[in-house]
Amino acid sequence: MKKFWNIPLVLFPLLVGSGVFAESTPTPDQVITRLKQGNDRYLTGLSKHTRIDIERRVETAKYGQKPLTTILGCSDARVPPEIVFDQGFAEVFVVRVAGNVCGEDQIASVEYGTQCLGAPVVVVLGHSKCGAVDAAIEGKQLPGSLPTLVGKIHPAVEKVKQVQSELKGEKLLDECIKQNVWNTMEDLFRHSPIIVERVKKNELKVVGAVRDIKTGKVEWLGEHPAQQQFISEAVR
Ligand SMILES: [Zn+2]
């Protein structure tokens, strides 16, 4: 049988129909719209849970993954990205780490998702009542390797306390969670020429979001307000 990329030609209509190979990669804005629609379905109890069946598993094991979104999110068990956005099997490339912090391993994983797998959107996803951010605010003694991880969140806490010194309690936590998302987005631009290049070519959008763990709603923060500055400074 004639083959193209080692795939029997007879299977092409099936694969295109299944979405293993989309006809063309959607634009970043189209992908973000899909995520918003998925979160709306989840919020209203109308999640489709499609494409998580055995056929899809077999299909993706055989023909590979083509995720449309790379998500760098917190490990918190209450924020599973595929469910939050009602996405199917192999549609989201997920990097999870407590406090959605950004070290070299996370950057490399995000680069893999966007450069090697071609996902046109990166979402940095924080969430309300994040224990890692709370630990950074409280400054309590922590065991094991946790101080190193929480240390990556300290700059966000310091910035919020500096700019909005009146904030206390839950309001302080909420602002630090948002600032920590902004900081992780900045880290991606500052340390990844791959991400900078793809954003410059409009092949990629990097957006921030925070999920409310009580309502399930995702608040979209959009692109980083200083994104153009990060890009121009990366070029110099
Ligand atoms: Zn968290």
Per DSSP, the residues of 70-92 read EEEE---TT--HHHHTT--TTSE
User: What is the Å distance from ligand 1's center to 101 Cα?
Assistant: 10
- pTM of the predicted model as reported, rounded to 2 decimal places: 0.88
- Does residue 22 contact residue 66 with C-beta atoms inside 8 Å? yes
Cα–ligand 1 centroid distance for 206 (angstroms): 20
For residue 23, name the pLDDT band (cuts at 50, 70, 90): low
For residue 13, what is the enclosing H or E element?
Answer: helix 12-18
Residue 196: predicted pLDDT: 98
pLDDT > 90: percent of the chain: 81
SS3 64: coil
User: Tokens in use for 42?
Assistant: 């989840």
Provide the pLDDT for residue 49.
81
User: Is 136 within 8 Å of 157 (Cβ atoms)?
Assistant: yes
What distance in angstroms lies between residue 196's CA and the mean position of ligand 1's atoms? Answer: 26
Residue 131 CA, ligand 1 centroid: distance in Å:
5
Alpha helices of 67-153 — where are they, by DSSP H? 81-84, 104-111, 131-138, 146-151
User: In which residue are the tokens 């110099």 written?
Assistant: 236
pLDDT beyond 90 at 25 = no
CA terminus-to-terminus distance, the chain: 52
Ligand 1 center from residue 99 Cα (angstroms) = 5
Give the percent of the chain with pLDDT over 70: 89
Pairing between β-strand 69-73 and β-strand 7-8 as defined by DSSP bridges:
unpaired
- The whole-angstrom separation of Cα 99 and Cα 181 is 9
Provide the pLDDT for residue 50: 76
Q: Give 60's contacts (C-beta < 8 A, 6+ positions apart).
A: 20, 89, 90
Task: Say which range, 19-23, 150-154, 179-183, 192-196, has the weakest mean pLDDT.
Answer: 19-23
| Residue appearing with tokens 């023909």 | 63
**Taking 60 as the threshold, does the pLDDT of residue 17 lie above it?**
no
Tens-digit pLDDT profile for residues 178-218:
999 999 999 999 999 999 999 999 999 999 999 999 999 99
Give residue 195 CA to ligand 1 midpoint distance, Å. 24
The Å distance, Cα 23 to ligand 1 centre, comes to: 36
What band does 236 get if pLDDT is binned at 50, 70 and 90?
low
Residue 92's pLDDT is what?
Answer: 96
HSE at residue 151, side-chain half, CA atoms within 13 A, is 9
pLDDT at 5: 40
Coil, strand or helix at 5: coil
Q: Which has the higher per-residue pLDDT, 51 or 178?
A: 178
Distance 105 CA to ligand 1 centre (A): 18
How many helices and strands (H and E) does the chain possess?
11, 7
**From the CA of 186, how far away is ligand 1's center (Å)?**
19
CA of 89 to the centre of ligand 1 (A): 23
CB 100 within 8 A of CB 181: yes
Residues 6+ apart with CB under 8 A from 225: none
Tokens read off for 202: 């409009």
C-alpha 125 – ligand 1 centre gap (Å) = 9
Q: How far is the CA of 128 from the centre of ligand 1 (A)?
A: 8
| Range 58-67 average pLDDT | 91
CA of 111 to the centre of ligand 1 (A): 22
Q: How far is CA 6 from CA 2, 50, 63, in A?
A: 9, 27, 10
